[in-house]
Amino acid sequence: MSSIILPVIFIFLFIYCLFKKINTYDAFVKGAKSSIKLVIDIFPYIASIMIAVALLRVSGITQFLTKLLSPIFNFLGIPKELSEIVLLRPFTGSGSFALLEDVFLTYGPDSYISRCACVIMGCSETIFYVATVYFSQTKVKKLLYAIPIALVVSFVGVIVSCLLCKII
């Protein structure tokens, strides 16, 4: 069902443009051209955050933090098996998806832990990645309360997700 939505939208868009006599080819080329510049502009921001996260993971700091935090997580109803996902989710999308697949393999995709992990992934985003990329083209240095709110909401979301998976 969801796989036909996009092609249908594209067809409607092209038919609409046909009636409005718009040069779709010229427009597409113009848009596609801006993609290279955009990626070059955001590359250094992504690279620096990825390097920092990689150092934290290779040095074992994340595993250490995971061990340190899991009793607290357990108290809040978050399974300790998910501590690493919860910890890394704000930083890296690909990393947390790799961890999700690990959870599937270890505990089976239909277990309580896997369902929790799915809901956690589904209602959250890679906060630091989004923040660096979105603000990369601005002069903003102070984000005020933005990151704390994003982190708090995402953490409350984790607790709610685990609770919901127990009930539903």
Partner 1 sequence: MNIKTKLVIKYYMNKIWLFMMISGILVLLYTNPSQTLSTMISASTSTVELCINLCAVYAVWLGFIEIIEQSGLSNKLAKLLRPIIKKLFKIDNEEIEKMIALNLSANMLGLGNASTPMGIKAMKALDDKSGTASFPMIMLLILNTTSLQLLPTTIMGLRASSGSLSPSDIILPTIIASVFCITLSITLVKLCESIRNKKRKGET
**Residues of span 44-103 touching partner 1 by CB under 8 A:** 46-56, 58-61, 94, 97, 100-101
Residue 11 is a binding residue for partner 1 (CB under 8 A): no
> Cβ of residue 78: shortest distance to partner 1, in angstroms?
13
Binding range to partner 1, per CB under 8 A, among 69-77, 78-86, 132-140: 132-140
Residue 106 is a binding residue for partner 1 (CB under 8 A): no
Residue 125 is a binding residue for partner 1 (CB under 8 A): yes
Give me the torsion for CA of 58, 63, 65, 67, rounded to 10°: -170
Residue type, 87: L
Residue 139 is a binding residue for partner 1 (CB under 8 A): yes
Nearer to partner 1, 53 or 86 (CB): 53
C-alpha 10: how far from its chain's center? 26
Residue 8 is a binding residue for partner 1 (CB under 8 A): no
Residue 118's contacts (CB-CB under 8 Å, 6 or more residues apart) are 100
Go through the chain and tell me how many residues it has: 168
Residue pair 15/9 in contact by the 8 Å Cβ criterion: no
